[in-house]
Chain A
Amino acid sequence: MSTTAPWHRADAAASEEARLVAEARSGDASARERLISRYLADVYDVTLRVLGDRDLAQDAAQDAWVNALGALGRFRGEASFRTWVLRIAINSARSLARRRGRRREVDLTSAEAVPGGDDPSSGARFSAESDRVADALAKLPEKQRLAVSLRIYQGLGYQEIAELTDSTEGSARVNYHLGIKRLREMLR
């Protein structure tokens, strides 16, 4: 098991990311695949939070990667690649939502395999809890939903959330706290 501290791992991850991006830009197919593997879960999470529908979220995640890799030559490295690709994911999801009509309201329950060990009742409990969380998140307005999701699942700071959601850092912080307050009411 690695004993490296998380903040040191973050530095190493940033440097690995820069190397992968440079290799992908020079046409290295394996670097492109590793970027996808590394950030696909983040991209999917974001498209799911915007669209509220698993099938559409997968379509948007695919669109996002096609768009991102097609535009890789325009990536200037001002933000991290991860932030850049998440922004493209949000745009792809919103664009798909516009093409398909308004956001679906929302059945995020069921279907996916869940961790629960060998105990079926434990798996069922985890699954039920997971459904409650997904439902509650889906009921938040988009800016709150994205602020909470980007802060908790992606670990982004308020400045990065603001850049991704076209708002200010202060707004991102308030949207996050408003979202958490409402989730506490729904999940108590």
Chain B
Amino acid sequence: MILLDCDRVRDLLPDYAAGRLEPATVAAVEAHLRSCDECRGESAIIGLLARHPAPLPGGLEARVLAATAPRRRVPYVPASALLAASVAAALLGGVTILRHTRGPEAAPPAAGAAAAGVDGRGLMMRLPGSADDGLAAGSASLDDLSEDELQSLLKELNS
């Protein structure tokens, strides 16, 4: 039989409450709990916490799935093609103005018509949100302590 002290048992209690321990360790934790009022009290609180996770709100999954569904892709159009389309559109516009001012002529071949049909949405790529890696700093007091000081504090806490 494995023998566990209070510190080890308290570290294991969340895994014990969630059924994540191997049978031999479960037996060792339970043997300790039978003989230790303090750890039994802590086990009761952890069991209480474990029985009450935050319930997932109805509709959240559907909402997240909708927000993350892949958008319909707009075909990639190289910038050079857009430039050509702009030039063609400008030329067509110029010809139209000339036709209007000079009278009816045969229409020029619509060389840029297909390109002129390209809209600008190809450039409006939706950039994915980037993960903010800058965690806000919390209280640094514990982080400033050495491992020995943290161990002493733990012993004090558990005494």
Contacts and interface: CB of A to CB of B under 8 A. Distances in A.
A6 B54 CA distance: 23
A133 B68 contact: no
Interface residues of B, number: 57
B139 interface: yes
Contact of A67 (B48, B56, B128): B128
A152 B14 contact: yes
Interface in B119-140: 127-139
A36 B20 contact: no
B5 interface: no
A88 B135 CA distance: 10
Given A29-B70, A67-B131, A167-B142, A148 B49 contact: yes
Interface string A1-32: 00001110010000000000000000101001
Interface of B: 10-11, 14-15, 17-22, 41-42, 45-46, 48-58, 60-61, 63-65, 67-70, 127-139, 142-143, 145, 147, 150-151, 153-154, 157-158
Given A87-B131, A134-B54, 18 more contacts: A33-B65, A40-B56, A41-B53, A62-B63, A66-B68, A67-B129, A71-B129, A88-B131, A95-B132, A108-B54, A113-B55, A152-B18, A153-B54, A166-B135, A170-B150, A180-B42, A184-B45, A187-B45
A65 B159 CA distance: 42
A129 B48 contact: yes
**Interface size class, chain A:** 35 or more
5 contacts: A66-B68, A66-B129, A134-B54, A155-B20, A177-B10
Given A29-B69, A91-B135, A177 B14 contact: no
A5 B10 contact: no
A54 B41 contact: no
B63 A58 contact: yes
A174 B150 contact: yes
Contacts of B19: 6
Given A33-B65, A67-B131, A91-B132, A171 B20 contact: no
Contact of A45 (B10, B51, B53): B53
Contacts of A67: 128-132
